[in-house]
Every structure is written in C-alpha cells, then in structure tokens.
Amino acid sequence: MKAGRAVRDALVLAMLGLYAMPFFWQVLTSLKPDAQLLTLPPLLPARLTLAHYDAVWAKSVMPRALVNSFGVAVLTTAVAVVLGLLGAYALARLPVRGKGALMLGIVASTAFPQIATVSPLYLLMRALALRDTWTALILANTSFALPLVIWLLAGFFREVPEQIEEAAALDGATRFQTLRWIMLPLTAPALASAALLTFLISWNEFLFAYTFTATEASRTVPVALALFPGVFEVPWGDIAAASVLASLPPILIVVGLQRFLLRGVLAGALRE
Amino acid sequence: MRSERAVKPGRGGDHRTALLFLAPALTVLAVVTVYPAIWLFWLSLQQRIPVFGIARFAGLEHYQFLAVDARFWNAFRVTAVFAAASVALELALGLLAALALRAQRRGRRLAISLLLLAWALPAVVTAKLFEWLYHPTAGLVNYAIGGRQLNWLGDPGLALPGLIVADVWRTMPFVALLCYARLLGVPPEIYEAAQVDGAGRLAMLTRITLPLLRRVLLIALLFRTLDALRAFDLMFVLTGGGPAGTTETLTVYAYRTLFQTLQLGFGSAISVIVFLTVMAIAWVYLRALERDEAAA
Amino acid sequence: MRLDHNSAPLRLARFAGRRAAGGLIVVALLAGALLAAACGRPPAGNGPVTLVFKHAKILGPTDPVADLLRKFEASHPGVRVKSESLPWTTDEQHQYYVVNMEGGGTPAFDVLMLDVIWVPEFARAGWLLDLTDHVPRAELAAHFRSAVEAATFRGRVWALPWIMNVGLLYYRKDLLDKYGLRPPETYEELVGQVHRIRVGERDVGLDGFLWQGKQYEGLVVNALEALWANGTSLLDGDGRLFPDPARAEEALADLRMLIATGVSPPWVTAADEELTRRAFGNGRAVFLRNWPYVLDLLQQPESPVRGRIGIAALPRHAHGIGGAGSTGGAHLGVHRQTRHPELAAALVRFLTSEEAQRTMAGGVALNPTRTALYRDPALLPSHPGFPEIYRLTLAGRPRPVTPYYLMLSATLQPELSAVIVGIKSPRDMVRQSRARVAHMLRDLK
C-alpha cells in the first residue's frame, strides 16, 4: 500500500511537472545558442549559453522596465492597502449609511472590464498631463486593486470576534487605535495576502500599461516584452530570456509565499 | 452572518471616524472607477476622433451601426465560444487536479507550486510562451504531435483552439486551488463511513465530493466566466485578433478601434456592450448563488 | 470613560507608535523618491542641446545612421543627437506616435521617421512643423516627385523624403533561364511558369509565389497592387471605396485563388516581409513580391541565392494596363512643439542630403529618394540593380494620399484577411467594407 501511494504521488508530481513544461521549455530556450534554436530535434542543446540574458540585460529596455514595474507595483500596493484597510474597517465595523449598497457597489466594481474604463481614463490622463508617468499607472491599477482589497479585508475584519474590540473600547481606545493595535496584528496574514495579491496583479497588468506608457521612462515589463524588437527575425532566445526575467517576481511570490497568498485568494473566494 | 452593529461606546464619534476612514478610498474610487464608467456611456453617444478634432453628439448612431456590423457579431461569437470552451475545460480539468492534489500524501507544496506557476505568470509571458510553442517548424507542439507543420497561429481553423488551450493552461490552477481548498475542509470520516457502507469510488465522487464542491464550482464558474469575457492580454499579444478576425474578441475589437484609429466614441460603444454583458452575467450568477444558498 | 494614558497597553502603544511613525516616514520618503525619480526630467537648457531622433531599426548588416549623426554633431558643436528606436511593426509605430503626439505636452522627441502614409494625417492633425520655408524648392526637386507629393498637404511641405520603396517582383533567374522563360507580364503567365518549373524540378516543396498576406498594413499594399493590376483602384477621386466593385472582386478572388490552388503556400496568410524574404532567400520559392531592401540582402556573400535573382515589374491581370508597384518609404519630419525647430530642421535636411543618402545607400539596402543617386558612379558598382529600380520606381503608384489612410487601412485589414483566408467571399467583403468605410468617414469629409 505504501509503495503504491508513493508511486501515485510521484506520478502526480510528474504530471504537474509536465503541466509546467511550457515554462521550463522557455527557460531552456533562453539558454540555447542561436544556431540551435530553430531546429527541432534535437530537444536539448549541445551547450548552454548566457548570451541571451546578456543581450537582454545590456541592450534592451528590460532593466529599465523592471524598475518601472517594481516601482509601480510597490506604490500601487501601498496605496491600495492603506486606503483599503481604512475603508474595509469602516465598512466592516463602523456605522455607515447605505453600507449594504456601498459594499455591493464596491464588489460590483471588481467586475468592471478594463476595456470599459480605459478610454475615459485615457482622456483623464491626457487632461492631467500624466501620460507616460508612473502616477498614471498607479491610478489606473488602483482602480481595480482597491475594490478587491476592500472586499477581501472587509471579510477578514468581520471575522474578528466583536468582544475583542469591545474590550479595547472599554479600555478607552479610539477606533484608530483599535484598528492599529488590535485588528492589524490579528489580521496581519490576511493583509500580507492582500498586499502580495495586489503586487502580483499590478506586476502582470498589461492593458493600461500598454495604453498609458509611451517611452522607456514608464514602460513596464509586460509592455516591454510585448514590444520586444526584432531586427531580422524574431529573436526567440532573447524573448525567452526576457520572459524568464519578467516571471521572476510572480514566481517568487507564488512559490515562496504560497501560504500567505493562498489565504487571501481562497478566503476571498470561499466566503461567498 | 456576523452582526455589524458598532461597538456601543462613542457612537457619534464613530460616524465621523467612519467617514474619515472611508473618504480617501471612496474619493479615489470615485475618480478612477466610477466616474470613468459613467463617462464611458457618455462617450459612446459621441463621435469623437481627437486626431481630426472631431467631437459631436451622435446619439445612438454607433449602436445602430453595431447592430448590423458583421465584424461586431463575429467578435461577439468569438467571445462567446472562447468563454464557453475555456470555462468548461478549466472547470473539468481543475476539478481533476484538485482531486489529485487532495489524494497527494507527499510533496504537496511542490505540487501546488508547479501548478500555480502557470497562474502566476503575466498573460504576456504566457502569450510569448505559446507563440514559441506553436511555431510551425521549431515549436514543441508540432514536434510532440509527430512533426506535422501545422500553422497554429496562422490557420483560421486552428487559431482559436490554440488560444483556448493557452488560456485554459493559465487559469485552470485557480479553479483547482479553489476546489482543493474546499476539499481540505472535508473531514475524512465521511469517506471512511461511506467506504464502510460499501460505496465505490465513483459513488463517493458523485454522492459526496461533487455535492460538497457544488457551491465552490458555482463560484469558480462565476469568476472564470467574467474573466473570460473581459480577457484581453492573451489574445492581443498572441494573435492580435487574427488571422482574419478568428480570434478577435469584443475586447480586442474595441481596443483596436479605440487606440489604432482613436475613434473614441465608436470604441466606447463596443466597450459599453462588453460592460453591460459582463455586469448582466454577474448579476444572473449572483442571483443563482443566492438562491442556492437559500435553498441549502 | 477617560482614557488611562498610563495604562500598560497604551504606553506600549505610544512607544511602538513612534517607531511606526518613523517607519511610515521612511516609506513615505522612499515612495516620494521613487515618484520623483520617475517623473523627473532633466531641465532644458543645462549643458549641450540634445535632439531626440526617433526611427525604426534599420534592416541591414551595419547601421549607417549612427555615423551620420556623429557627423552632424561634429559640424554642430554643442549639439547631441540621441537616437531612439521605434516598435517593430509600422502599426505599432503609428500607435506610438498617435498616443504620444495627440494632446500636446512636452515632446518626447524632436525629429521623427515617418512612414509616408502618415504624413498627411499628422499634418492635418497639426503635429508636424511646416518645413516649406526651411527647404529651398531646388532641393525638393532633387527627390522623386511622388515622394514629395506624398508629403505635401494643402500646398505645404511637412516632411522630407528619406528612404524610397517600391513593390517589386523578385524571380529566380537561374530557374527561369533553365526553362527558357522571361519574367511574366501577367499573372496567368506567372501561374503557368510556376507549374512548369515545379513539374520540371520535381520539387513539391518549392513554393511558387510569395507575398505578404498577414493581417497588417502589408496586406493592404499587396491588395492595392492586385487592384491596380486589374485596372481599378481603392478610392476614386471622390473618396468612394471600390469604385469598380466588379473588378475589385475579381482582383481579390485572384489573390485568394493563388492560395487555394497552391501557387502560394498557405502560410502566406501569416507572412510579413521578413518571413517571405527568408524563405525566398533560402531558395524555397520561384517568385517573391517585396521591397527593394531585399535585393542587397540576397546578394550578400552568404546568401544561397546570390547571383541567381532578378527583379521585374509586378505582373498585371487581364484588365490591367501594366503592373504598378506600390511606392512607399520613409520621410523625416519635425515635431511641431520641438524646442529647437531650426536645429531639428537642419538635422532633417542633413539626413536627406545627397552625401547622407549616398552613405546610406552604400552601407545598407536603403534606397535613396534623390533621383541623381541612381546614376551615381560611386554607387553603381555595388548596386547594379539601380537603373532598373529607378525605372520601376517611376512607374510605381503611391497609396491614397489622404489623412484618413490609416483608418481606412485599419478597417480593411481584417476584411482582406478574411478574403484571402477563404472565410468571406470577395462580394461580401466589398459590400460590407463600403458600408463600414462610409460610416467611418461620414464626419471626416
């Protein structure tokens, strides 16, 4: 029985490894010398090379794009989490007129298609002279990150037993102090999840970035990858290297911080 | 349902605090989410082409044109087929993956990591991944199916299936995780009791597991349908809507109209239709979920 | 109840609160620094004047433009020219320009390389600097007339011609000679020759006629050439689409037939210039429709078809008078809101000057727009095809010179793609396109 189980476990792992094959193939491609890229078989190259990474790092806009993506994602997360936890706490625990409708509106806005808001936002950014700036992207990303964060966090705040807050109030704490010293530590894992999720979706965001950025000054990684230049023919090796670089933060988040991330994502979805 | 009564002391101050706490978030949302949504409707009623300085009220002209526009109806059909096929495959495969994960004894963390890899990648990376996989001569897919040089992204009959496969690949993990998380909360005693009663594997699946997963599957169905209807990144970068519009969804059609030719009014009309469709389906699903919960 | 400030939890709170405040300040500063780094642009006027020149990547083994820019800097002390490249496809380049120049604001570039079809549109939108007074008439006369006309809008000149292009038919001279054939004058001849050569060579892998059928601007060019070859055009003088629907349908049906009968391989429907050039350059096809830049690349020492290709005019259909290739190319313009109009205009004039164009033609496959260079003794040895290309360029026709060309092209691309792929009949396509274009152009006349 034990052996059978071990075999079955190994089989499942192998199949999942196969599932992730597209990505591993891309990693392999990024290490294949140019001469061996376009012929198949052989699958494995005779030797590995770092030339593609060198080309991407030294000669493309990816380094700058990585900085842009990182900055935009961090700042979006900061804005969304700070504003979101204040708003979520208010909606979860404080008296607000029309709370039900407000919550419904916020939840509904997480369903807004990006294509619906991109043309008005384009005109708005144009009017505010924010084209090709980080600010434009942060604002645009916040438009869908903030409702999501509020929704997730409100659910978590509601699950904290009221008695704890009542005790704090009896001790004379203000709402802000209750939030800061009681609620936050209690829901810290959920906050971390929400922050990581926001970072992830901000990093991966493409439509707004493609529309609102024009030069390397603010171009993010997905856009740089989509517009990767090729002179004679498509540089599959370089694109593969750039793809791998673009994937590192999301992979780190998902693999390293699995527990944190899953709690946020799953909890939000399961609490319907 | 937890009560949302405010804590008793300091009632009046609570109102003010609530407003203070909510104000920043609501202000930002009003500016970047609500206002644009309203503005979109207004834009769709105008003929607005900034490049040529055209800005006039057009009423329902765009909608009248779209009603008989073959390209619009093609995009509508492509969107519907894409959403239906993707969601169906994701749910089926996701369920299978969740069951496999649940039965896993060792290496669960590794298994989940391998699975989640596909979900975490930016859609643009996935597009480039599959563009390379679908390469007619150097692509792994053609190699794996025996060396036939199928032109996946250039053949009008193959492009949409190819796109759907790419989309299912990247979104199935989400469904799998949702089901897996729900399954984790199921005590194993239920299965043991069923086994004692002589239930076979299939019976356990259909009589115990599926009913328990029903609600989660409905939620997954909701999320994934909305996401599939709004999808843009993958098809835009992988095929650009081609060849011959066989992978042009409503979102791609709207984007091309908006930003290739800056027809902001006409493009907004298409976007309005996407918006209304998505919200309508969301509403239908949510009602179904409510009724399901009430019945439970 | 009053708050007991000395209670243990609140003392802890105050202590931790100060540290948290410190942490918040650090985060705020970091955020501010990141924001400032992102939004900051070096103020103008400090140090050397920098002109930004935006252009597409030059196809070829070397980059002559960099040397030319250094030469300009040498003759203009205190001026730096920064060269920045555009996205790869012309459609993306156009979108880049539109998003950047529409709505004003400080220009991100001063001199821009323009596809010839964008000049009327950008001129009408008011994004280009009027160059008429910066360039003497005599200088303009040295360029191909069609190139200058394409850059003239409402009587003013908005860009200077830089690179010339014309659609050519490339053929495998060795194969045609082997069967005693001359370059085909009609498409019927072409198809016959393809069959004959394929049968003779007993090579089923040998493709017949390669052209650009991917859903992009190149497809519109190929379709235009097919229309002209059948004696009709895309727009008539009044701006009506497909003025002769019957002939237009015929021409489009013939394009579809090329693929349906196997004269052109099916992958042509996803092929652009580079893909078809590579296939032809590897000896995999008999005929190719492409731009002049291909000639130099195919005559490189490592090219498998070196010395075995020839160029000719595009064939015609039954009703056509004589095959005309589409002319095209790149122009150089100046951003209307540049801070250095004189310098930018000087750079444009320098890059389009005779020596600059001679350098470019000598280095890579960039055909000059100055007619004299086609008879230049310094260039003829390395460019024996010049006299022929010159003759064919004169016979070429420009795409419709209208500010609305891009909108037209964007509307027609998916329609044309549907026809050549076989999922829409030419009749339906012509009918639907006319309705759509009429709707689109309603406000633009």
CA distance A79 to A82: 5
A80 min Cα distance to partner chain B (Å)? 8
Chain A CB contacts of B178 below 8 Å: 266, 269-270
* Statement: residue C25 has pLDDT above 60: no
How much is the average pLDDT of B176-194? 84
> In a mutagenesis test of the B interface, which of A119, A171, A238 is the best target, namely the one with the most B β-carbons within 10 Å?
A119
Q: Which of B240, B128, B77 is nearest to C270 (CA)?
A: B240
CB contact under 8 A, B264 and A94: no
**pLDDT bracket for residue B165 (50, 70, 90):** very high
CA distance B134 to B118: 17
* Statement: residue B7 has pLDDT above 50: no
* Statement: residue C224 has pLDDT above 80: yes
| Dihedral angle computed from the Cα positions of residues B139, B142, B147 and B151, in that order, rounded to the nearest 10 degrees | -90
> In a mutagenesis test of the A interface, which of C4, C12, C34, C98 is the best target, namely the one with the most A β-carbons within 10 Å?
C34
* Statement: residue A240 has pLDDT above 90: yes
Q: How many CA atoms lie within 13 A of C107 on its CB side?
A: 22
How much is the average pLDDT of A8-34? 91
CA distance C247 to C427: 11
Exposure b/e, C192-222, CB count within 10 A at least 16 = b: ebbebbbeeeeeeebbbbbbbbbbbbbbbbb
Task: Quick: pLDDT tens for A34-63.
Answer: 877 877 777 888 888 899 999 899 888 899
Return the beta strands (E) in C205-284 as ranges: 207-210
CB contact under 8 A, C35 and A134: yes
CB atoms inside a 10 Å sphere around CB A215: 17
Chains that touch C (3 or more CB pairs under 8 A): A, B
CB contact under 8 A, B219 and A119: no
Chain B CB contacts of A139 below 8 Å: 28, 31-32
- The whole-number pLDDT of residue B103 equals 83
* Statement: residue C135 has pLDDT above 50: yes
- The whole-number pLDDT of residue A65 equals 93
Per CATH, the homologous superfamily of domain C49-164+327-398 is: Periplasmic binding protein-like II (3.40.190.10)
CB contact under 8 A, A135 and C4: no
The domain defined by C168-323+404-444 carries CATH number 3.40.50.20 = no
Percent over 90 (pLDDT), chain C = 45
Output DSSP code: residue C266.
G
Domain boundaries, chain B: 70-295
Chain C CB contacts of B154 below 8 Å: 214, 266-267, 269-270
* Statement: residue C198 has pLDDT above 60: yes
Q: Which of B226, B82, B127 is nearest to A144 (CA)?
A: B226
Question: Per CATH, the architecture of B70-295 is what?
Answer: Orthogonal Bundle (1.10)
Between the ranges B128-132, B195-199, C32-36, C93-97, where is the mean pLDDT highest? B128-132
Exposure b/e, A37-70, CB count within 10 A at least 16 = b: beeeeeeeeeeebebbbebbeeebbbebbbbbbb
* Statement: residue A127 has pLDDT above 60: yes
**Cβ of residue A17 closer than 8 Å to a chain C Cβ:** no
ipTM, two decimals: 0.90
CB contact under 8 A, C406 and B56: no
Chain B CB contacts of C125 below 8 Å: 51-53
Domain boundaries, chain C: 8-38, 49-164+327-398, 168-323+404-444
CB contact under 8 A, B243 and C269: yes
Residues 6+ apart with CB under 8 A from C220: C399, C409, C412, C413, C416
CA distance C266 to C422: 11
Chain C CB contacts of A233 below 8 Å: 274, 278
**Cβ of residue B53 closer than 8 Å to a chain C Cβ:** yes
Task: Quick: pLDDT tens for C266-306.
Answer: 889 888 888 899 889 988 899 999 998 888 888 888 888 89
Angle (CA) C256 C258 C260, round 5°: 70
CB atoms inside a 10 Å sphere around CB C22: 10
**One-letter-per-residue 3-state SS of chain A:** CHHHHHHHHHHHHHHHHHHCHHHHHHHHHHCCCHHHCCCCCCCCCCCCCCHHHHHHHHHCCHHHHHHHHHHHHHHHHHHHHHHHHHHHHHHHHCCCCCHHHHHHHHHHHCCCCHHHHHHHHHHHHHHCCCCCCHHHHHHHHHHHHHHHHHHHHHHHHHHCCHHHHHHHHHCCCCHHHHHHHHHHHHHHHHHHHHHHHHHHHHHHCCHHHHHHCCCCCCCCHHHHHHCCCCCCCCCHHHHHHHHHHHHHHHHHHHHHCHHHHHHHHHHHHHCC
